[in-house]
Structure 1
Amino acid sequence: MTLDLDAYLARIGWTGDPRPTVEVLRSLQRAHLLGIPFENLDPVLGSAPSLALDDLQAKLVRGGRGGYCYEHNTLFSAVLKRVGFSVTPLTARVLLGAAPGDIRPRTHMLMRVDVPGEPHPYLVDVGFGSIGALLEPVELVAGAELSDAPRHHRLVHSAHDGPLPMWELQAEKGGSWEPQYAFTLEPFEASDYEVINWHIATHPRSPFRQAVYAQHTRIGSHLALAGLDLVETADDGTVTERRLKDGAEALRVLADDFGVHLPEGTRLPE
């Protein structure tokens, strides 16, 4: 499995000298989010996406598609390692939308990234399908805040019963902090993600099997599709909502507005 770095950089529209610096890390993460959308179409259409690097490049880099967290962050991890960063894969419990007392399994992939010469590692994540997702890396320091305009994030420690400190990523929303996900710094392996990926893509109660979810961060706005509900949030907070007519219109919106192209004859659930 060989990474085609030039093809990846062309896909996200990034030009420059790929060196392991904080500035490069920031610009690569933002460019990735602007360049490759989030989408769960493989599970919706009945298959678990491959996490093999060659398959990820065929789909996300050359195939006019996006993916969900395991695909995005596995690909981005390979890119960062090639550039010269040290990457430790992690897994988080998603807190966004959880009911009080609801303990979800760890199903979200993210990364700790160490930058040569920097005193602290960074939390890096290009695969969280939400408007509360990080646009840039944030220092892994308790209380660290990040003004990744137009968004605003912070990292805090939260109480739990385990032996490792629990970190919580929060995003500012309406003047208050909204929890996004919680994680420890225990490293995970590729085989762990194979199991989690299969579960999320195939379990009959997985939300990623039930409806289409797509997200696209754009310059000036964020676009989200959930089933047939399309929501555009401008950087100034203005929200525009529209209910699509059917799966055929959803396919057109995915192609035109998200840049996600599916084979002719594809039919989406409604």
Structure 2
Amino acid sequence: MSDTVEFDLDAYLGRIGWEGGRVPDAATLRGVHLAHTRAIPYENLDALNRTAPSLAIGDLQDKLVHGRRGGYCYEHNTLLLHALEALGFGVTRLAARVLVGADGAPDSGRPRTHLTLLVEVPGEPRPYLADVGYGSVGALLEPVPLVAGVEAEGAGRRHRLVLVTHPGPLDLWVLETYEPGSVWGAGWRRQYSFTLDPAARPDFEVANWYVATHPRSPFVQRRYVQRMRGDEHVLLLDRELIVTSPDGTVGKREVAEEEVVGVLAEEFGIVVPQSHQKDQAG
């Protein structure tokens, strides 16, 4: 579908249940960001079907807004970018390097394949980091100001941005989240690193195709669907349903093959297309 399709702000705000103000200020940014994370699930069902999802805004609206589906970072954050621009914010795409599960320095080891957003709020002295497409229990629920070393709490989660000494011309930032309990114990964990060098849509068209089709991409290896249910994080990892409470308590149960399509509908509000159902059930 062509990008000449007009973005439907009313339909988007209805999808996320936002009835607050439309003034481009920090309160609107926080409210829309939080509402998005609670309304639209994260999922990689297209990639499991070896299909790179379209990033054209008309297709994104058809899938995530009208089709009651979810998506992964490129889809979520592209949709949010259009919404914020329609509300009067200035938005810049940034390319980030995911650090969860990685060893070594925050500027090496993995490609910069994650899409995150830098948002300018009129009248505010500093921009905000916004990200509704990071499929993790450590994801941002509300945007955080781009200020180094200051802890920010949003909707019960704690984050901070660390400015790393970097030998290149651009400063390197790292987003960290505080985990109250995990296999490593409580503490701050790196999520991803990024610079403020603007990225362009073609950069993510290439990354989108790669992560959705390359045989070694984690997105084609196993099902990953997540959403917020109140203050709980609900994840379907292949056929394991994992519920994480704000205090770090984790509950798990196995989902039988024949239950998968029903769980996707009941737990995540996702109606799986017929073309995907064989893969999702088996």
Structure 1, unpaired ranges of 5+? none
Counterpart-to-counterpart distance in 1, 2:87 and 2:194: 26
| Counterpart residue number, 2:225 | 214
Contact preservation (8 Å) 1:138, 1:145: no
Q: Map of 1:238-253 to 2, 5 A cutoff? A: 238-246=249-257, 248-253=258-263
SS in 2 for 1:56: helix
Is 1:256 the counterpart of 2:277? The answer is: no
The residue identity in structure 2 corresponding to 1:198 is W
Q: Is 1:5 aligned with 2:16?
A: no
Q: How does 1:1-270 map to 2 (within 5 A)?
A: 1-100=5-104, 103-174=109-180, 175-246=186-257, 248-264=258-274, 266-268=277-279, 270=282
Q: Which amino acid aligns with 1:69?
A: C
Deviations 1:202-254 (CA, angstroms, capped at 9, x unpaired): 111000011110110121311011111110012233211011122x3122111
Q: Deviations over 1:72-103 (max 9, x none)?
A: 00000000000000001001000011134661
Report if the CA contact (8 A) 2:142-2:155 is conserved: no
d(CA) in 1 for partners of 2:168, 2:208: 24
In 1, are the aligned partners of 2:227 and 2:233 still within 8 Å (CA)?
yes
The secondary structure found in structure 2 opposite 1:143 is coil
Structure 2 CA distance for aligned equivalents of residues 220 and 155 of structure 1: 23
What root-mean-square deviation, in Å, do the aligned CA atoms of Structure 1 and Structure 2 show? Answer: 1.3
One-letter amino acid of the structure 2 residue matched with residue 37 of structure 1:
P
Q: List gaps (5 residues or longer) in structure 2.
A: 181-185
Task: Tell me how many residue pairs correspond in the alignment.
Answer: 269
TM-score by length of 2: 0.92
Residues of 1 paired with 2:272 and 2:81: CA distance? Answer: 26
1:158: Cα distance to partner? 2.0
Is the 8 Å Cα contact of residues 179 and 248 (structure 2) preserved in structure 1? no
Task: Determine the structure 1 residue equivalent to 2:183.
Answer: none
Tell me the secondary structure at the aligned position of residue 154 of structure 2: coil
